[in-house]
């Protein structure tokens, strides 16, 4: 039965007016507008919007840049345009203005599910609009249809020794997808600048679509868990990812992946993986090359690898103090980590100054699905103790937990115990945010990134006697 929905006239390509009430028009639609069609409508408006912002505010200053910022990893330096999400230090992430709980409430769900579909989140990141269920479903179908890997990419993965870290295998496979890049081909053929976003969109869709097969293949090769099943074209992205990993029969795990991908997708533009993708893309490297570079940044222990580090740290803690330790024992263990010159993984953040709402969303998931799990209880105990210890130690600007403090315990609960694989799942998710911005960067004609660097000698000279 055709559904009735309230639409702007432009939102439908093949729609026949049915009836109107007040200023609202109702359309019975045969086919929902595709994401690419909607983007094609939005891009000219956004180009005008950016032109107007530049005309009115282009010469205004954000503030001063200090020498400390140059030496200090550019913390707080306003330097990048990123539309998909904005991170507030106190409140956490908003995807196109929507908090995580708002996304959980508003985005389409799978039949019988209660977590948002990442398909809907991708639509939101790209357009700023919440898609209909039919539009989210059309993305599931599109991605399923694009999911097959070229044979040589399968061979590259199969030739990797199982001792090679899954993230290295992941980045290699993603980089190799550039063999079939629509953008690289179109560029060689002399595509006009105005058309860049079209093949970038196609590559980005292919990239996202192929990640489950890459991740599943790496997982099964490294951890020896049998042959990959085929993609089920009737199911959503997260189901297929779970199934390729061997967990398709665990509905709660599939729900976890829907939430996991949604909350890990984007965290504004300055973090290492997002910024790297944008930077490399600015050289007009195609989305596979750009996102391959993102993955190499995500593989660092201060960034995405922290989810692996957290679980290692928890396991070590458990082996030293037992599964149900006293508060005193947990405190001692945290101090011993700090005193040996290591960071407490999963705590602290370069921007956030409160508990990460991505941590809270996972905690709420655990409270609903695994309230009695001993490792979840241990994570909860650490949450009560670690911030005070970090405050007392006096170095970390943010003593609160981040996203990585919780994810591993949830995955472990469902049987995905191989912590070296956790950052791969983060990588699958991060593609959504990076790809969305790559498409907008090419649509808006973002130039090559080229900030200015200084030597210490030059800095000394510049400020001598000032």
Q: Which residues are catalytic?
A: 303, 349, 404
Span from 113-121, 160-168, 202-210, 346-354 in contact with ligand COA (CB under 6 A): 346-354
Span from 124-132, 210-218, 341-349, 360-368 in contact with ligand COA (CB under 6 A): 341-349
Residues 387-416 that bind ligand COA (CB under 6 A): 395-398, 402-404
- Exposed, middle or buried, 127 (CB in 10 Å: 0-12/13-18/19+)? middle
d(CA 325, CA 318): 8
Q: What SS3 class is residue 88?
A: strand
264 part of the interface to ligand COA, by CB under 6 A: no
- Exposed, middle or buried, 40 (CB in 10 Å: 0-12/13-18/19+)? middle
Quick one: which of 306, 317, 361, 416 contacts ligand COA (CB under 6 A)?
306
Number of residues binding to ligand COA, judged by CB under 6 A: 18
Binding mask 20-59 for ligand COA (x = CB under 6 A): ----------------------------------------
CB 405, min distance to ligand COA, A: 7
CB 271, min distance to ligand COA, A: 8
CA distance to 31, 129, 323, per residue, from 42 (Å): 19, 11, 53
DSSP secondary structure, 257-272, as one string: HHHHHHHHS---S-SH
- Token pair, residue 419, equals 């912590």
79 part of the interface to ligand COA, by CB under 6 A: no
Quick one: which of 269, 270, 348, 408 contacts ligand COA (CB under 6 A)?
348
List the beta bridge partners of residue 28.
4, 16
Span from 3-11, 19-27, 54-62, 340-348 in contact with ligand COA (CB under 6 A): 340-348
CB 336, min distance to ligand COA, A: 12
CB 350, min distance to ligand COA, A: 3
Span from 16-24, 104-112, 142-150, 345-353 in contact with ligand COA (CB under 6 A): 345-353
- Token pair, residue 452, equals 């200015």
Task: Pick the closer one to ligand COA by CB: 368 or 395.
Answer: 395
Task: Pick the closer one to ligand COA by CB: 209 or 386.
Answer: 386
CA distance to 234, 244, 358, 454, per residue, from 137 (Å): 9, 19, 25, 50
CB 349, min distance to ligand COA, A: 5
Quick one: which of 210, 264, 349, 442 contacts ligand COA (CB under 6 A)?
349
Q: Looking at residue 15, what DSSP letter applies?
A: E
430 part of the interface to ligand COA, by CB under 6 A: no
List the beta bridge partners of residue 347.
401
185 part of the interface to ligand COA, by CB under 6 A: no
Cβ-based neighbours of 42, under 8 Å, separated by 6 or more? 127
Cβ-based neighbours of 132, under 8 Å, separated by 6 or more? 3, 5, 32, 108
Quick one: which of 346, 387, 408, 433 contacts ligand COA (CB under 6 A)?
346
Around Cβ 116, how many Cβ atoms within 10 Å? 27
- Token pair, residue 456, equals 């210490």
- Token pair, residue 70, equals 């140059």
CB 154, min distance to ligand COA, A: 32
For residues 252 and 221, the answer to whether their CB atoms sit within 8 Å is no
d(CA 241, CA 316): 30
In the complex, which residue's CB is closest to ligand COA? 348
Q: In what order do the strands lie in the sheet with 24-31?
A: 4-6, 24-31, 14-21
CB 248, min distance to ligand COA, A: 29
Quick one: which of 30, 106, 283, 302 contacts ligand COA (CB under 6 A)?
302
For residues 426 and 390, the answer to whether their CB atoms sit within 8 Å is no
446 part of the interface to ligand COA, by CB under 6 A: no
Task: Pick the closer one to ligand COA by CB: 129 or 392.
Answer: 392
Residues making contact with ligand COA (CB under 6 A) = 302, 306, 338, 343-350, 395-398, 402-404
């Amino acid at each position: 039965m055709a559904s009735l929905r309230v639409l702007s006239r432009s939102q439908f390509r093949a729609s026949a007016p049915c009836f109107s009430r007040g200023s609202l028009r109702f359309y019975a639609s045969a086919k929902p507008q595709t994401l690419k069609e909607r983007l094609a409508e939005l891009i000219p408006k956004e180009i005008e919007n950016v032109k107007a912002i530049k005309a009115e505010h282009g010469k205004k200053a954000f503030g001063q840049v200090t020498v400390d910022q140059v030496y200090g990893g550019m913390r707080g330096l306003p330097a990048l345009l990123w539309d998909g999400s904005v991170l507030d230090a106190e409140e956490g992430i908003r995807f196109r203005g929507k908090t995580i709980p708002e996304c959980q409430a508003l985005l389409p769900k799978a039949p019988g599910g209660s977590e948002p579909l990442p398909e809907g989140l991708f639509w939101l990141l790209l357009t700023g609009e919440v898609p209909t269920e039919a539009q989210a479903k059309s993305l599931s179908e599109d991605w399923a249809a694009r999911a097959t890997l070229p044979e040589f990419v399968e061979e590259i993965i199969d030739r990797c020794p199982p001792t090679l870290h899954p993230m290295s295998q992941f980045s290699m496979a993603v980089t190799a997808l550039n063999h079939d890049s629509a953008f690289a081909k179109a560029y060689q053929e002399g595509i006009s600048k105005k058309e860049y976003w079209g093949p970038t969109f196609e590559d980005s869709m292919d990239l996202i679509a192929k990640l489950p097969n890459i991740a599943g293949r790496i997982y099964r090769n490294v951890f020896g868990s049998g042959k990959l099943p085929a993609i089920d074209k009737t199911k959503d992205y997260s189901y297929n990812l779970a199934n390729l990993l061997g967990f398709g029969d665990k509905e709660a795990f599939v729900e976890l992946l829907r939430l996991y991908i949604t909350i890990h997708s984007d965290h504004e533009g300055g973090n290492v993986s997002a910024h790297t993708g944008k930077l490399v893309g600015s050289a007009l490297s195609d989305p596979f090359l750009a996102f391959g570079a993102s993955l190499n940044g995500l593989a660092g222990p201060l960034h995405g690898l922290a989810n692996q580090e957290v679980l290692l740290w928890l396991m070590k803690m458990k082996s030293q103090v037992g599964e149900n330790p006293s508060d005193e024992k947990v405190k001692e263990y945290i101090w011993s980590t700090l005193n040996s010159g290591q960071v407490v993984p999963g705590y602290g953040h370069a921007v956030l100054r409160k508990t990460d709402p991505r941590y809270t969303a996972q905690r709420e998931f655990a409270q609903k699905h695994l309230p009695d799990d001993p490792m979840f209880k241990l994570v909860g105990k650490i949450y009560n103790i670690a911030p005070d210890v970090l405050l007392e130690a006096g170095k970390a600007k943010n003593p609160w937990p981040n996203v990585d403090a919780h994810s591993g315990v949830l995955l472990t609960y469902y049987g995905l115990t191989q912590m070296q694989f956790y950052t791969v799942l983060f990588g699958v998710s991060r593609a959504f945010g990076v790809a969305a911005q790559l498409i907008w960067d090419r649509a808006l004609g973002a130039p090559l990134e080229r900030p200015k660097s200084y030597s210490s000698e030059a800095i000394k000279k510049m400020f001598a006697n000032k």
